[in-house]
Amino acid sequence: MKPVYIAGAGMTRFGRSEWPLMQLASVASLAALKHAKLGDIPVDGVVVANMGAARMNRQTALGSALVDQLALYPATAESVENGPASGASAVKVGFQAIASGMADVVLVTGVERMRVVNGLEGTDFVASLSHPVAEYIYGVTLPSLAGMFARMFMDRFGVERKHLAMVAIKNHANAAKNPYAHIQQTVTMEGILTLPEAVVNNPPIATPLHMFDCCPVSDGAASLVLVSEAVAAKLGGPKVRIAGMGQATDTHAVHEREDPTDLKSVRLAAAMAFDRAGLTPQDVDVAELHDAFTILEIAESEASGFFPQGEGHKALERGETQLDGTLPINPSGGLKAKGHPVGATGVAQLVELTWQLRGECDARQVKDAKVAYALNFGGFGNNVVASVLQREVS
């Protein structure tokens, strides 16, 4: 495989947007293209990640639509729908195009506009990724799968609600330093857990998970410009390489997994990404994990290899995953507070990490970060993509 570099990264602010779908995608794309300073080097291909536009925005073939918006004809165009892992999957498609030598410059953009439908419709749309016969018909939604996972995981490893709250408090504090985050408001242990008012502030969503354990529903777009080694050399500037990507699948119905508390697909995808990168979890300076629910940040931090099984919440409690800790997790605020426009999320994780590796994150900058890791968790763990990025020092 030929090396693949990220030359530019851009995004819209996440949240509720009045912009139409393709305007969101275009604004993020233009920001990434400007960041890359491509000059007259042509874009060979465009890949767009999205999960729900066919249903929520009545638009399909988004890759072709984005080429048209940006007047990039005759660039190749693809659309990737892979559930909540659409974003990193689209990056993988772009990566493969450059690694194989079929392209030198690929624009990868993830976009979702889901606030256009009401909350019930939005929840039902995401729930349609669950098993149609064995899960969906029973009223299974993503929060319910997370709630059932959380109850088992907490019982087995001694994780308490205060640990879940610690994830939320940390990620809200990080998001407050991120101008692109959906929610820029800090929260406290008293406000969401220990004071009597917490019962009102933080109602149950899918027990034992409460509102501040769940990500918001967001609109937004994020974009990366991937380039070959030859183009990266021509551009100069900081060199961030996609050192390795890994992906793994698991059973559609969560109950069919041998051990439903084991995120096996995460373990396999992470191991593959680190192996291909020639690096280990110990080399990672900063990570973005898929905390659609707070419990997932803890479980993924273990399954990715950063902490032994059952130790993730203890590392969190010791402050190791704070912005100034030994392994900062979700400096962007994560899905929890930065927001979760589903198709954009996997791309946005890598946008944040590219900026981190280039030292462009201002108040939330992780000092001297050289190796970064992202985990994009699709389905409820039935399709997971892990990525390792590395800054090359010339």
As measured in angstroms, the least distance from the Cβ of 207 to other proteins is 5
Q: Alpha helix (H) ranges present in the chain?
A: 21-36, 62-69, 86-99, 119-127, 142-157, 161-175, 189, 198-201, 229-235, 264-277, 294-303, 312-317, 334-338, 342-358
Task: Please report whether residue 148 would count as binding other proteins according to CB under 8 A.
Answer: yes
Query: Cβ(227)–Cβ(99) under 8 Å?
Result: no
- Of the two residues 234 and 252, which places its CB atom closer to other proteins in the complex? 252
Task: Please report whether residue 152 would count as binding other proteins according to CB under 8 A.
Answer: yes
What is the DSSP secondary structure assignment for residue 73, as one 8-state letter?
A: T
Query: Cβ(339)–Cβ(215) under 8 Å?
Result: yes
Smallest CA-to-CA distance from 208 within 157, 156, 142, 160 is with: 160
As measured in angstroms, the least distance from the Cβ of 142 to other proteins is 8
Tokens coding 323: 């912005």
Query: Cβ(7)–Cβ(225) under 8 Å?
Result: yes
Phi, psi of 297 (to 5 degrees): -60, -40
Task: Say how far apart CA 266 and CA 289 lie, in whole Å.
Answer: 11
What is the footprint of other proteins within residues 236-255 (CB under 8 A)? 251-255
As measured in angstroms, the least distance from the Cβ of 148 to other proteins is 4
Task: Please report whether residue 149 would count as binding other proteins according to CB under 8 A.
Answer: yes
- Of the two residues 8 and 147, which places its CB atom closer to other proteins in the complex? 147
- Of the two residues 128 and 280, which places its CB atom closer to other proteins in the complex? 128
As measured in angstroms, the least distance from the Cβ of 170 to other proteins is 23
As measured in angstroms, the least distance from the Cβ of 112 to other proteins is 18
Pick the binder of other proteins from 86, 109, 141, 304 (CB under 8 A): 141
Pick the binder of other proteins from 71, 120, 200, 393 (CB under 8 A): 120
As measured in angstroms, the least distance from the Cβ of 201 to other proteins is 15
| Residues within the interface to other proteins (CB under 8 A) | 120-121, 123-124, 127, 131, 133-141, 143-144, 147-152, 155, 203-209, 214, 251-256, 260
